[in-house]
Structure 1
């Protein structure tokens, strides 16, 4: 097994890095991702998403043009900031992402999942405390994910793939409950999204700071409407 390199978190090899990515991107990770639909609950209520095809189309468009691109790009910037021991930069990108969130629900979900991941990481890797202290109280999930990826020696490009796949899995699961769909239909959507995830990850990995933008007005409208939606199963 080839050793990647030493770090403050220990010596890691490629097989362990893969297992760490699977753990970090797993639906079993206790960060509460299952409680958020990112506007899909509202879109189902409106009839904009009504079947497997429309759910897949929404997720494809989000991968290529939506706010998830910005989140995934932040995992790379967090990773590089920790790699360079530049905690000022890490704090900057965390604040930037907080300001870029379109609605209160989306910001709160990012902060809540971030807090949960930070708490877990500090229990597993207490030496990360100084890093998260530099970021501040409200750590976004994408930032914490990037820090974890660096600590566990997951390459930034692979971390983006894991982040996007985890996001897609959570939202497909939400769609299965809300539309509703069968489990087989959900798995087919995930298979159909694989090429889109790979393509999106490749594009995200080379985004410059000046290219950090998204077309997410549909998500914004759905998220704002969800705040006052009468019947809700999800927190966003």
Structure 2
């Protein structure tokens, strides 16, 4: 596959993963709202530790592995495996809100990405829920956006959204928020490289506390975010 020019790839990813793209990512806290309400995150060091766990051993790592394999499935025109990866991505959601978070964003992303050729996947996933990382990877591969930069941009979007949640609810100042994102850069670079060569055997998470907090959010009396 001939990849598009770096500038073209960058522009596409900036559009697809920007707050203005109608995926509604800003409406989800990924369980952070529960953690903050329980005062488990009260300062920058708490926030960095929480994000570090999600990035390295939590839901984000699984998303990256599945996105990487989905990108390859599309480039190899293996629609059967792509569908199986989507089913696995949905099955890995630990609770209803996490399921809705990924499926609603995946569906919204596919619909909004019509100018970039998402129509070819519309029939395949017409009657099925579509996990967000699968949708992003599929469109990136269709548009010949390199795998490594796709994974890096996906991670950055995920982390930037959660930092935004922390800045509003902890609250963290802008200086602390930007420092967290700066400190994450080498981690995101490393994980992009690892995920690009990962297999299904590399799936796995160990952030049970975060999963339980996401489930607890379903029953939270006062909520700002949908998850």
The TM-score, its normalising length taken from structure 1, stands at 0.91
1:182 paired with 2:173, answer yes
1:81 paired with 2:73, answer yes
Secondary structure, aligned partner of 1:162: helix
- The count of corresponding residues between Structure 1 and Structure 2 is 226
Structure 1: 5+ residue runs without aligned partners? Answer: 7-11
Mapping for residues 1-236 of structure 1, pairs under 5 Å = 5=2, 12-122=4-114, 124-125=115-116, 127-136=117-126, 137-236=128-227
How far does the alpha carbon of each residue in 1:123-143 deviate from its partner, in whole angstroms, 9 at most, with x for none?
A: x13x53232322343111101
User: Structure 1 129/87 Cα, relative in aligned 2: closer, same or farther at 3 Å?
Assistant: same
Secondary structure, aligned partner of 2:206: coil
- Residues 75 and 142, structure 2, Cα contact 8 Å, conserved in 1: no
Q: CA deviation at 1:220?
A: 1.2
- Residues 94 and 143, structure 1, Cα contact 8 Å, conserved in 2: yes
Secondary structure, aligned partner of 1:15: helix
Secondary structure, aligned partner of 1:5: coil
Q: CA deviation at 1:175?
A: 0.5
Q: CA deviation at 1:17?
A: 1.2
Q: Distance in 2 between matches of 1:91 and 1:234?
A: 29
- Residues 94 and 135, structure 1, Cα contact 8 Å, conserved in 2: no
Detail structure 1 runs of 4+ shifted over 4 Å in the superposition: none
Secondary structure, aligned partner of 1:233: coil
Q: CA deviation at 1:202?
A: 2.1
Q: CA deviation at 1:197?
A: 1.2
- Residues 155 and 188, structure 2, Cα contact 8 Å, conserved in 1: yes
How far does the alpha carbon of each residue in 1:87-143 deviate from its partner, in whole angstroms, 9 at most, with x for none?
A: 111111000111111111001110010111011112x13x53232322343111101
Aligned CA-pair RMSD: 1.5
The TM-score, its normalising length taken from structure 2, stands at 0.94
Aligned residue in 2 for 1:9: none
How far does the alpha carbon of each residue in 1:39-62 deviate from its partner, in whole angstroms, 9 at most, with x for none?
A: 111001111111111111110111
Q: Distance in 2 between matches of 1:132 and 1:72?
A: 22
Structure 2: 5+ residue runs without aligned partners? Answer: none
